[in-house]
Amino acid sequence: MYDDLTHFFNEAGQITAWPSKAKKQLSVLRFLAGKFEAAKDYDEPQVNELLNRWHTFEDPALLRRELYMKHFLNRVPDGSRYWKEGGP
């Protein structure tokens, strides 16, 4: 899986905590971005639903914002539509 994150995953393959180190945060974001289909539109509730399937610490807003800020997802200015352009 993601060797540098093994202690952040539970047995179901979900992230259990937000890492404190930036490098590990990027690995978590890369993992989560991989759950989105490229070029598919998602509304905010769909993004939250997908993120909630893959983490247990109940903060989809943090993850959604970080995915956008680190350019893993794009969005329209009002946040009503998100998409992944491609890549991992």
In order of their start, the domains of the chain are 3-83 (1.10.10)
User: What pTM did the predictor assign?
Assistant: 0.91
CA dist., res. 87 & res. 67, Å (int): 13
DSSP 67-85: HHHTTSSEE-TTSS-EEB-
Q: Which of 87, 69, 8, 14 is nearest to 79 (CA)?
A: 69
User: What pLDDT digit, counting tens, does each position of 41-75 carry?
Assistant: 999 999 999 999 999 999 999 999 999 999 999 99
* Residue 2, pLDDT score: 63
User: What pLDDT digit, counting tens, does each position of 1-43 carry?
Assistant: 566 788 999 999 999 999 999 999 999 999 999 999 998 999 9
* Residue 88, pLDDT score: 44
